[in-house]
Amino acid sequence: MSPTRYVIVGGSAAGMAAAQSIRELDAHGDILILSAEADAPYYRPLIPYIVTQKKTAEEIALMGQGPYTARDIHVRLNSPAISVDTGARVVNVLGGDAVPYDKLLIATGARPYIPPEIKGVDTPGVYAPRTLADARSLAARAGMARHAVMAGGGLLNLKTSFALLERGVAVTLVVASPEVLSQVMEPDGAALIRAALEKVGLRILTGRNVVEVLAGPNGVSGVRLDTGEELPCEILCIGKGVRPNVEFLEGSGIVVERGVVADEYTACSVPDVYTAGDVAITFDPITGKRIMTALWTNAVEMGRCAGRNMAGHPTVYSGTFGVLNATQVADVPFVSMGIVHTSGTPYEVHVHATANTYRKVVFSEDGKRLIGATLVGDISCAGFYRHLIRERTPVNGLKAEIIGQRLHYGHFIRW
Amino acid sequence: MKEIFVRLDRCMGCHSCEIACAVEHSKSKTLFGAIFEHPVPKRRVYVEWVKPDHKLPVLCRHCEDAPCMHACISGAIRRTAEGVVITDEDKCIGCWTCVMVCPYGVIGRHLETHRSYRCDRCPDRDEPACVSACPTKALVYQTVDEFSANVRHAAASEMVAGERG
């Protein structure tokens, strides 16, 4: 029997995790990754360190690091897929050649969303940093910039803000919502984070939008807000979410509904085609709703599952929380997962706040299951919260420990 | 390959393992040296208490399918040839994703260095410090085969004792 030809479109988290997982189960298959990027696979979440110049491209490379130790995984760079012929079982690559497959993974990820309301986004100095190439360019621009404006108060923009602050650039964050991080927590929890951001020198303007880029001889010279205010700057970073890269699937017969539709085995609507990562539609195990996420950790998990299925080991994907974030903002760590937006919902909510910490735990309406948690300042027990939410474990006698953030592994043992 | 096994019926809650662990992970490797060090050396084993009165030491299980290793966004967590899951401090960026996904709650956050840390099974020792320090042998360092052979032997002894009345 000739070796199976596995073709993976996309060389980031989902694609590389799938490749690793395939190789662990199939020692002889041909694994080919088609990457649109010019750089070999890297840890995308580390690109802010390229902006700060604290790490080099080699230092954030993925292959050979962490779990990615498998051999004989071939990555073709500069090779964006332009279409898929599921009848002939080939992927057409820009430049002309058709790559045949036995098993195909769609893991093309997503690209930044650029709101059409912002005028002048083609001006040099406007970024929506996503790739290593973007980060290199931003790092160079940071050397000549005094001010940067960040449109959007999400995590990505916060991380880029810190990188630019480190480079000595003054940063103003312009947020449409009443508070930063509105996608991952409610304003009462975000207040502590905002205070930490302001303490390190970030200027934050809420309830406002960037509407126009002002251009000078060296590219961006400022931005205009919807309030009419003008902010001088040499850099604008847009962090307004992402959109899945699905255009090349038109005419392939693979069902796309914004993202690529996957069944519980990560399989698409056409035989032998699978999907994973930011491009895929999956479901939230808490609400059962279909969602798309753009998180490294989720992409890896789904990619590993897809790899197993492609290698002939049927494995159910357990879905993922729409919100699953951990990080540290200045000196404030936070974790946010599951159901975090509760205003106007019937859920049972317990909030405990001190001067330096904020904790919100969310139970189902009947109070029997944990469905969400936001921990700011003190993130101990986070792993247990995730486990309880994900496994839909009845909380029974543990409720007081959950509310009080006093869980430990001993509580999960049957004595 | 040896692992650290916990015998639930033996822990008395004396916390000796925690102290031995912190000392082993100090610069001086002595108790008196360790308590004056900055940052304070961290323990990687945690003695927990469950009502009515159970105690147990909890530490990294070096999971076969380690969630932390796959979740890590910076490639800092890998498995050594000996099967030990380790965190590379130089690569860790302190994002705490591993903390968020660990179902045992045994990944610590080193606030002074902004890195995560966990049991490394004491690579410089023949037997991990916590195991050596445990006065009741609630912690044992054995291969799976050795451990299950001991469990069988104990069960057989009890059966024989029961037979005799």
Task: Identify the CATH number of the domain in which residue B121 sits.
Answer: 3.30.70.20
Residue with tokens 């954030």: A60
- Predicted confidence at residue A330, as pLDDT, reads 83
- Predicted confidence at residue A388, as pLDDT, reads 92
**Percent of chain A having pLDDT more than 70?**
100
**Is the per-residue pLDDT at A410 higher than 90?**
no
Chain B within 8 Å of A408 (Cβ-Cβ)?
yes
- Residue, of B162 and A302, whose pLDDT is higher: A302
- Predicted confidence at residue A251, as pLDDT, reads 95
- Predicted confidence at residue A159, as pLDDT, reads 93
- Predicted confidence at residue A210, as pLDDT, reads 97
B70/A409 Cβ within 8 A: no
Cβ neighbours of B78 in A, within 8 Å:
65-67, 69
**Is the per-residue pLDDT at A53 higher than 80?**
yes
Convert the pLDDT of each residue in B60-99 to its tens digit.
999 999 999 999 999 999 999 999 999 999 999 999 999 9
- Rounded to a whole number of angstroms, the distance from the CA of B6 to the nearest CA of chain A is 12
Q: pLDDT confidence of A287, banded at 50, 70, 90?
A: confident
Convert the pLDDT of each residue in A309-355 to its tens digit.
999 999 999 888 888 888 888 889 999 999 999 989 999 999 999 99
3-state secondary structure string, chain A? CCCCEEEEECCCHHHHHHHHHHHHHCCCCEEEEECCCCCCCECHHHCHHHHCCCCCCHHHECCCCCCCCCCCEEEECCCCEEEEECCCCEEEECCCCEEECCEEEECCCEEECCCCCCECCCCCCEECCCCHHHHHHHHHHHCCCCEEEEECCCHHHHHHHHHHHHCCCEEEEEECCCCCCCCCCCHHHHHHHHHHHHHCCCEEEECCCEEEEEEECCEEEEEEECCCCEEECCEEEECCCEEECCHHHCCCCCCEECEEECCCCCECCCCCEEECHHHEEEECCCCCCEECCCCHHHHHHHHHHHHHHHCCCCCCCCCCCCCEEEEEECCEEEEEEECCCCCCCCCEEEEEECCCCEEEEEECCCCCEEEEEEEECCCCCHHHHHHHHHCCCECHHHHHHHHCCCCCHHHHCCC
- Rounded to a whole number of angstroms, the distance from the CA of A297 to the nearest CA of chain B is 5
From the list A300, A333, A408, the residue facing B58 with the nearest CB is A408
Convert the pLDDT of each residue in B6-20 to its tens digit.
999 999 999 999 999
- In three-state secondary structure terms, B84 is coil
Q: Between residues 19 and 48 of chain B, which touch chain A (CB distance below 8 Å)?
A: 46, 48
User: What is the spatial distance between Cα A22 and Cα A16, in angstroms, rounded to a whole number?
Assistant: 10
The CATH code of the domain at A5-111+243-310 is 3.50.50.60
- Predicted confidence at residue A186, as pLDDT, reads 87
B96/A335 Cβ within 8 A: yes
- Rounded to a whole number of angstroms, the distance from the CA of B104 to the nearest CA of chain A is 6
- Predicted confidence at residue B5, as pLDDT, reads 95
- In three-state secondary structure terms, B13 is coil
From the list A46, A304, A383, the residue facing B70 with the nearest CB is A304
- Rounded to a whole number of angstroms, the distance from the CA of A263 to the nearest CA of chain B is 22
From the list B69, B96, B105, the residue facing A328 with the nearest CB is B96
A69/B69 Cβ within 8 A: no
Q: pLDDT confidence of A96, banded at 50, 70, 90?
A: confident
Domain A126-240 and domain A339-412, same fold? Reply is: no
- Predicted confidence at residue A224, as pLDDT, reads 98
**Is the per-residue pLDDT at A299 higher than 90?**
yes
The CATH code of the domain at A339-412 is 3.30.390
- Residue, of A223 and A290, whose pLDDT is higher: A223
Please answer whether residues A226 and A211 qualify as being in contact, where contact means their C-beta atoms are separated by less than 8 angstroms.
yes
Q: Between residues 82 and 121 of chain A, which touch chain B (CB distance below 8 Å)?
A: none
Chain A within 8 Å of B49 (Cβ-Cβ)?
yes
**Is the per-residue pLDDT at A404 higher than 80?**
yes
Convert the pLDDT of each residue in B125-161 to its tens digit.
999 999 999 999 999 999 999 999 999 999 999 999 9
Q: Residue B96 is part of which domain span?
A: 2-164
A45/B109 Cβ within 8 A: no
Chain B within 8 Å of A410 (Cβ-Cβ)?
yes
Question: Residue B52's closest chain A neighbor by CA?
Answer: A415
Cβ neighbours of A67 in B, within 8 Å:
69-70, 77-79
Query: Does pTM top 0.90 for this prediction?
Result: yes
Q: Between residues 124 and 163 of chain B, which touch chain A (CB distance below 8 Å)?
A: none
User: For residue A319, which of A347, A341, A342, A291 has the smallest C-alpha distance?
Assistant: A291
Chain B within 8 Å of A369 (Cβ-Cβ)?
no
- Predicted confidence at residue A78, as pLDDT, reads 97
Convert the pLDDT of each residue in A181-207 to its tens digit.
988 888 888 889 999 999 999 999 999
**Percent of chain A having pLDDT more than 90?**
80
From the list A46, A60, A382, the residue facing B99 with the nearest CB is A382
Chain A within 8 Å of B4 (Cβ-Cβ)?
no
- Predicted confidence at residue A313, as pLDDT, reads 97
Domain boundary assignment for chain A: 5-111+243-310, 126-240, 339-412
- Predicted confidence at residue B48, as pLDDT, reads 93
As its CATH architecture, domain A126-240 has 3-Layer(bba) Sandwich (3.50)
CA of residue A273 relative to chain centroid, distance: 23
- State mean pLDDT over A12-35: 98
Number of domains in chain B: 1
- In three-state secondary structure terms, B159 is helix
Residue with tokens 């973007």: A134
**Is the per-residue pLDDT at A305 higher than 90?**
yes
Q: pLDDT confidence of B164, banded at 50, 70, 90?
A: confident
- Predicted confidence at residue B51, as pLDDT, reads 86
Q: What is the mean pLDDT of chain A?
A: 94
- Predicted confidence at residue A142, as pLDDT, reads 97
**Is the per-residue pLDDT at A286 higher than 90?**
no
- Rounded to a whole number of angstroms, the distance from the CA of B161 to the nearest CA of chain A is 25
Chain B within 8 Å of A56 (Cβ-Cβ)?
no
Chain B within 8 Å of A384 (Cβ-Cβ)?
yes
**Is the per-residue pLDDT at A229 higher than 90?**
yes
Chain B within 8 Å of A409 (Cβ-Cβ)?
yes
Q: Between residues 172 and 201 of chain A, which touch chain B (CB distance below 8 Å)?
A: none
**Is the per-residue pLDDT at B165 higher than 80?**
no
Q: pLDDT confidence of A288, banded at 50, 70, 90?
A: confident
User: For residue B76, which of A382, A43, A171 has the smallest C-alpha distance?
Assistant: A43
B71/A300 Cβ within 8 A: yes
